[in-house]
């Protein structure tokens, strides 16, 4: 049987879903640069530069700061599988789909998991976490900074204080927030913090930036058993990304080029300016949606600027609107899932996509479609 492929020519979209975001032209050019060996001295220098840039964006001085070879969920799994040993207790805040995924991974690692689950669209009450920690000692507490399924931003300061008062590790998912709002891993005393390359950093999907505090590393070194995942074992990855340069796996060289370039653009723009751009885009979207008579799921003070959950009006087919946006305007947005399926649209304003001209283009298309 003969099978032939035509040259690749994907359609051009405006990505305004909850990830991935559009990649800047400079990032796409970086990916086309010559492939080096993963142990080439020139590539090792690129690795060092990428780690140093990640430290700035995470707001940390942690030596253990690197991109996991895998999507954001690989970062989540690394954050769970490395500290947890069978029988450890883990407390997970579930304010949406990705908190639930964190809890499922912790269970698969052999943890005794307790979840704290407010209604989707609300935030965690630190008092609930305190009560759970007082009830029984826990190895870790995990929360999601920005819940992609709801658009809620979780305040972290008080939770961090409570977690450390009780001697637990504080693990935070910043997949949707890193590069769009301040993370400040050191100031918040986050022990393991992970993210994804494809959202507010605007590199393609495929890498999971992660940073581990010295307290977190001490917990890993104190394990009584081997980490259940060889590929995600941070003590082994540390030997490759650290000064030893011991071969672990063949790194995705072109993806690391892309992340380095995305980080260069982030730092050239300036973190505060980048955060302001995300907030300006969010405010413009909120004002425009109000004019269209559309409401947000989340209260204004809890809204994340990069993930906007907009309620679907009664009698409107959420999927039909999404389909028309894609087919007629080349704009991608996402719907809800779980208890919010068919009830919200999720509009992402992330990284390179978080621009006022993109907001205006979406609002114009929504006005036309909703008017019909």
pLDDT value of position 372: 66
Determine phi and psi for 231, rounding to 5 degrees. Answer: -65, -35
62: phi then psi, degrees, rounded to nearest 5 = -60, 130
Alpha helices, H only, the chain? 25-31, 41-58, 72-81, 97-108, 126-135, 157-165, 214-221, 234-241, 253-269, 271-291, 318-329, 356-371
What pLDDT was estimated at residue 279? 98
Same fold, 25-267 and 271-371: no
Report pLDDT for 305.
98
Q: What pLDDT score was predicted for residue 1? A: 82
Q: What is the CATH number of domain 271-371?
A: 3.90.1150.10
Q: Burial code of 228-245, b = ≥16 C-beta within 10 A, e = fewer?
A: bbebbbbeebbebbeeee
Domain boundaries, the chain: 25-267, 271-371
Of all residues in the chain, what percent carry a pLDDT higher than 70? Answer: 100
Is the backbone peptide bond immediately before 266 cis, with ω within 30 degrees of 0?
Answer: no
pLDDT one-digit tens code per residue, 17-42: 999 999 999 999 999 999 999 999 99
Q: What is the pLDDT of residue 270?
A: 98
Confidence bin at 262 (pLDDT 50/70/90): very high
d(CA 145, CA 150): 12
Mean pLDDT calculated for residue range 43-51: 97
pLDDT tens for residues 275-284? 999 999 999 9
Query: pLDDT per residue over 150-178, tens digit each?
Result: 999 999 999 999 999 999 999 999 999 99
Percentage of the chain beyond pLDDT 90 is 98
Mean of per-residue pLDDT scores for the chain:
97
pTM higher than 0.85: yes
Given this model, what pLDDT does residue 301 score? 94
- Rounded CA separation 349/288 (Å): 14
Specify the pLDDT at position 231: 97
pLDDT, residue 371, reads 81
Kindly report, residue by residue over 82-106, the tens digit of the pLDDT. 999 999 999 999 999 999 999 999 9
Could you report the per-residue pLDDT of 307-334, keeping only the tens digit for each?
A: 999 999 999 999 999 999 999 999 999 9
Which CATH architecture is the domain 25-267 placed in? 3-Layer(aba) Sandwich (3.40)
């Amino acid at each position: 049987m003969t099978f032939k492929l035509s040259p690749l020519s994907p359609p051009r979209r405006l990505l305004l879903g909850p990830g991935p975001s559009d990649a800047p032209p400079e990032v796409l050019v970086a990916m086309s640069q010559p492939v080096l060996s993963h142990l080439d001295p020139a590539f090792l220098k690129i690795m060092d530069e990428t780690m140093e840039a990640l430290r700035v964006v995470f707001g940390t001085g942690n030596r253990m700061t690197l991109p996991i070879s895998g999507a954001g969920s690989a970062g989540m799994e690394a954050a769970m599988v490395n500290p947890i040993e069978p029988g450890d207790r883990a407390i997970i805040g579930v304010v949406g789909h990705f908190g639930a995924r964190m809890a499922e991974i912790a269970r698969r690692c052999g943890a005794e998991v307790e979840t704290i689950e407010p209604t989707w669209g609300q935030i965690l009450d630190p008092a609930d976490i305190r009560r759970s920690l007082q009830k029984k000692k826990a190895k870790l507490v995990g929360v999601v900074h920005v819940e992609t399924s709801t658009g809620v931003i979780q305040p972290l300061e008080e939770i961090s204080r409570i977690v450390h008062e009780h001697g637990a590790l504080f693990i935070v998912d910043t997949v949707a927030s890193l590069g769009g709002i301040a993370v400040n891993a050191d100031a918040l005393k986050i022990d393991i913090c992970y993210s994804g390359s494809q959202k507010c950093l605007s590199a393609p999907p495929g890498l999971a930036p992660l940073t581990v505090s010295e307290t977190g590393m001490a917990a890993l070194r104190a394990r009584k058993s081997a980490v259940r995942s060889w590929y995600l074992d941070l003590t082994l990855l540390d030997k490759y990304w650290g000064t030893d340069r011991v071969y672990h796996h063949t790194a995705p060289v072109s993806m690391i080029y892309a992340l380095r370039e995305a980080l260069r653009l982030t730092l050239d723009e300036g973190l505060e300016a980048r955060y302001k751009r995300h907030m300006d885009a969010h405010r413009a979207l909120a004002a425009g949606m109000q004019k269209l008579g559309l409401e947000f799921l989340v209260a204004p003070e809890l809204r994340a600027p990069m993930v906007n959950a907009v309620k679907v009006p009664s009698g409107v087919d959420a999927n039909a609107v999404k389909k028309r946006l894609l087919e007629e305007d080349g704009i991608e947005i996402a719907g809800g899932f779980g208890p919010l399926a068919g009830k919200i649209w999720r509009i992402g304003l992330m990284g390179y996509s978080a621009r006022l001209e993109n907001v205006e283009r979406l609002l114009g298309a929504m006005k036309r479609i909703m008017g019909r």
